[in-house]
A and B are shown apart, each in its own frame.
Chain A
Amino acid sequence: MSVSYSGVTKSFGGRLVLDDISDIVNEGELTALLGPSGSGKSTLLRIIAGLTPLDSGRVSLAGRDVTNTPARDRHIGFCFQDYAPFRHLSLRENVAYGLKVQHVARAQRREQVDELLRLVRLEEFADQYPHQLSGGQRQRMALARALAIKPDVLLLDEPFAALDAQVRAELRSWVRTLQQEVGITTILVTHDQVEAMEIADRLVILNSGRIEQAGRPSFVYDHPATDFVASFLGPITSFGGISYRPHELEIVALGDGAESATVSEVIRLGFEVRVVLAGDDGTSTWVQLTHDQAKHLNPGVGQRYGIRVRSSKARKDAPLSSNVDAPR
């Protein structure tokens, strides 16, 4: 089911949190609402779910206006950042809650809950209470509970923020697979651009209550509409007064039409090497090399090289944008 919202505006105590936001999420798509904290992304998600009232604007599900429909009649699955477990209920009872509300018969309810628990790999924990589960398990419980009512839309508020790195990476790809298997329209809120790029069909980038840009992750990465989007989605560096992704530049021997510069710092991160160079005009530029490229070139502080835009990856269109500071 598609989700659309238009002119959504919301302020809390005089502070404008969402400023005239509009977008359409297509059926079956996974859209990531990406932005720094305070950008209004969680508020937008709660407004779509009907948990927070909006000041003005409209929300529609599959073309049907639900702006004034209470949350319980919207048929939207919502996973909270802290998973909001029902602490006095077992895992099985948590997942069964929505079915019980719908008066699904006991036998049928049990069957459906068992199936959901299998889906989220928690069968053997069915009779445990939330406090006996790990963060990742609670997250999957929240997902199963939301999916139990077979919602038309799934909303995930920072679903992986509270998990440690390894569990997060695993759960991320698992949620992606699950979403595609169930084929449910999903909106996910995150402040992590790597997470958003990995999991989403489409990014909506929010900054201080406005949509900066929306589009496919690879497109937005290569064609950021604003300086904010460019710097938020990945590292950028300036070269000759123009912004580039650091991997779009290369270091070559002096001459050959390249701008000459002196190596001022080499940062080795294992899989990549960052070479910071000072140009003859005093500007600082950094270039990202692969491990192999760095090994071959072996740059050292004080050595002089030429910098140029990598020919194979040179942009056919305009560079990122101008006047962007060099990243740290």
Chain B
Amino acid sequence: MPVKITDLADGELARPPQSWWTGLRVPRYETSKSVAGRSLVVGYLSLLILIPVAALVDNAFKGGLGAFWSQATSAEALDAIKLTVLCSFVAAVLNAVAGTATAYVLVRDRFLGRSALNAIIDLPFALPTVVAGITFYTLYGPHSPFHVNITGTWVGVTVAIMFVTLPFSVRSVEPVLESLTIDAEAAASTLGASSIYVFRTITLPAIMPALLTGTGLAFARALGEYGSVVFISNNIPYHTEIASSYVYSLVSSGQNAAAASVAMLLLVGALCVLITSNVLARTLARRRG
């Protein structure tokens, strides 16, 4: 073709630096010189997060590494942790699917009661978890009006956790869906793709980083859930006792070090989940700039 194109080399534009944590590009600001502001933030975070965590670590390791390990991995502790992780994982995965569908409907559809639905999504955040727990116990307990009794089963625990963590999934995916140009999906359809294929190949990859982050948050949050689960689980040791209520029972019987050890294990688990989901999300996000 006898046509000359000369703009081949202009692809490299000045790029803002990437955040090491999220992989997103952040604008460069002048470095703040305010020592007062920085110490205020550090002091606040220390009071709120660092000091309590340090106290927990201290408590957990009071009797040495051996004591920590035997307390954290006692038969009852392991069963409680196993149940908690399993139910949290199932709840997070189911919520990832349901949350994406909910966000999709909220962003793409215009219908009567849309803003009401939008407000209801946040209800689990606002509602005291104990209220949710009692409600579930009334609805799906031994005196259920529907004759559905899921108390003392892992299904009951999972349902309670799903209720509490749904907003994480919806609210993480929603803004990404909102910013996603419909044109990319339209382009795929002009290329012959069916709507299911478009969702699988265009929409889902676009929301994947946010979905991973949201699911990780929900999973981590679920590991320590207490109020909503405690009534429906019946707390049968070795059977339907969740980790947080095991910790509570340890504290009640004065076994503070053992309680701190199990709590420590939960904390490390939650951190691992958060870091993994963030690293995965970052790797995906970085590739597309």
- Listed in ascending order, the chain A residues whose CB lies under 8 Å from chain B are 49-51, 70-78, 80, 82, 84-88, 97-98, 101-102, 119, 121, 124-125, 128-134, 136-137, 140, 142, 145-146, 148-149, 166-167, 170-171, 173-174, 177-178, 181
Contacts and interface: CB of A to CB of B under 8 A. Distances in A.
B205 interface: yes
Nearest to B11: A134
Contacts of B5: 121, 136, 140, 170-171, 174
Interface string B196-209: 01000110011000
A131 B288 contact: yes
16 contacts: A51-B186, A72-B194, A77-B190, A84-B181, A87-B184, A87-B289, A101-B192, A130-B288, A132-B289, A134-B10, A136-B7, A137-B7, A170-B5, A170-B6, A173-B3, A178-B1
Q: Helix, strand, loop or mixed for chain B's interface? A: loop
Contacts, number: 112
> Which of A75, A130, A131 has most B Cβ within 10 Å?
A131
Contact of A87 (B8, B188, B190, B288): B288
A72 B7 contact: no
Contacts of A84: 181, 183-184, 186-187
> Which of A72, A73, A75, A171 has most B Cβ within 10 Å?
A72
Contacts of B188: 86, 97
B190 A85 contact: no
Contacts of B2: 177
A49 B2 CA distance: 31
B269 to A, nearest CB: 30
Interface residues of B, number: 32
Given A87-B206, A140-B5, A173-B3, 18 more contacts: A51-B189, A71-B190, A72-B192, A77-B190, A78-B187, A86-B184, A88-B287, A97-B193, A98-B191, A129-B289, A131-B288, A133-B11, A136-B7, A145-B187, A166-B7, A174-B3, A174-B5, A178-B1
Pairs of residues from A and B, 10 with the lowest C-beta to C-beta distance, nearest first: A131-B289, A98-B191, A84-B183, A84-B187, A87-B288, A88-B205, A78-B190, A174-B3, A101-B192, A136-B7
Contacts of B197: 101
A124 B5 CA distance: 14
Contacts of A102: 192
Given A101-B191, A146-B190, A88 B11 contact: no
Contact of B10 (A71, A130, A136, A149): A136
Nearest to A181: B1
Nearest to A49: B190
A80 B189 CA distance: 13
Contacts of A80: 183, 186-187
B16 to A, nearest CB: 12
Contacts of A70: 189
Contacts of A170: 3-7
A69 B217 CA distance: 43
A50 B187 CA distance: 11
Interface string B1-27: 111111110110100000000000000
A134 B288 contact: no
B11 A128 contact: yes
B8 A137 contact: yes
Interface in B162-181: 181
